[in-house]
């Protein structure tokens, strides 16, 4: 049984530079069939494209994360021009991650985050590609912006929405992705979202090296741990692990056109 990990950060320093290539190869030899690498800035977008050229089943998303946009403030068109050029690479399957993060006090100003989010949605529309959206403590603002871009579709990654909001997004054609958070004891809200959404909208991800599933909390996450998230989803949906693997892979292939 193999899984589609729809959200990873293998350029993170937690993964040893020397061993990184062999490590990713070992994941494909194990329980992983497909990986999407998400970007946070220009250099990580270059990394994701290089990795996608090394492995047949590794795909890239390019973009600027809300927490990383301050360095390009005042130069958004130039920075996003670079991203848009990269986005035309044949292995780039999405724009992202982009979105809003109002959690940390010292995050970039909201108006800068908003500018980068809106411009990346416009880019996704021009290129006809889906977006990978990061939303932390910013649900209302994210929804307002998505409503202004009705022709853009994508995935809400590591979903922390209410079931009601997640369902609204699904009705607009969006996908909802669940990370290791679903395995945490206090994840009651996330569990209710897993149960509520239509099965053809459901995706899984690790967001590695972040958000390891319960058995590995405090450790560096990697794609092979996705099985714990898949097991929890199988339990919540009251279906088999095989069905979780099959449905989530099918959905991810549809969203990313792979």
Q: What is the 3-state secondary structure (H, E, C) of the chain?
A: CCEEEEEECCCCCCCCCCCHHHHHHHHHHCCEEEEEECCCCHHHHHHHHHHHHHCCCEEEEECCCHHHCHHHCCCHHHHHHHHHHHHCCCCEEEEEEEEEECCCCCCCCHHHHHHHHHHHHHHHHHHCCCEEEEEECCHHHHHHHHHCCCCCCEEECCCCCCHHHHHHHHHCCCEEEECHHHHCCCCHHHHHHHHHCCHHHEEECCCECCCCCHHHCCCCCCHHHHHHHHHHHHHHHCCCHHHHHHHHHHHHHHHHCC
Contact, 182 vs 211, CB < 8 A? no
Between residues 38 and 176, which has the closer beta carbon with respect to Zn ion? 38
CB of 242 to Zn ion, least distance (A): 27
Between residues 132 and 146, which has the closer beta carbon with respect to Zn ion? 132
Between residues 30 and 209, which has the closer beta carbon with respect to Zn ion? 209
Between residues 38 and 124, which has the closer beta carbon with respect to Zn ion? 38
- Which residues, 20 to 39, sit near Zn ion by CB under 5 A? 38
CB of 130 to Zn ion, least distance (A): 15
CB of 142 to Zn ion, least distance (A): 15
Q: Kindly state the number of chain residues that form the binding site for Zn ion, as judged by CB under 5 A.
A: 2
CB of 131 to Zn ion, least distance (A): 13
CB of 74 to Zn ion, least distance (A): 25
CB of 60 to Zn ion, least distance (A): 13
In the chain, how long is the greatest CA-to-CA distance? 50
- Which residues, 196 to 255, sit near Zn ion by CB under 5 A? 207
Between residues 15 and 239, which has the closer beta carbon with respect to Zn ion? 15
Between residues 129 and 134, which has the closer beta carbon with respect to Zn ion? 134
Interacting residues with Zn ion (CB under 5 A): 38, 207
């Amino acid at each position: 049984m193999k899984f589609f990990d729809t959200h990873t950060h293998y350029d993170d320093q937690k993964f040893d530079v020397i061993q990184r290539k062999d490590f990713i190869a070992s994941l494909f030899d194990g329980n992983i069939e497909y990986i999407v690498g998400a970007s946070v800035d220009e250099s990580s977008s270059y990394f994701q494209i290089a990795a996608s050229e090394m492995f047949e089943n590794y795909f890239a998303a390019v973009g600027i994360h809300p927490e990383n946009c301050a360095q390009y403030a005042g130069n958004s068109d130039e920075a996003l021009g670079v991203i848009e050029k990269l986005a035309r690479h044949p292995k780039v399957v999405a724009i992202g991650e982009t979105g809003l993060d109002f959690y940390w006090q010292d995050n970039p100003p909201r108006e800068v985050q908003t500018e980068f989010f809106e411009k990346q949605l416009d880019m996704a529309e021009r290129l006809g590609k889906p977006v990978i959206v990061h939303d932390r403590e910013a649900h209302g603002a994210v929804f307002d912006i998505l409503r202004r871009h009705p022709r853009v579709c994508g995935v809400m990654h590591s979903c922390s929405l209410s079931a009601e909001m997640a369902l609204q997004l699904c009705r607009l054609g969006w996908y909802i992705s669940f990370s290791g958070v679903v395995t945490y004891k206090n994840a009651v809200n996330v569990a209710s979202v897993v149960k509520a959404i239509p099965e053809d909208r459901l995706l899984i991800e690790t967001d590695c090296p972040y958000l390891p599933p319960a058995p590995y909390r405090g450790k560096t996450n990697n794609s092979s741990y996705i099985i714990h998230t898949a097991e929890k989803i199988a339990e919540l949906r009251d279906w088999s692990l095989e069905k979780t693997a099959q449905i989530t892979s099918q959905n991810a292939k549809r969203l990313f056109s792979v």
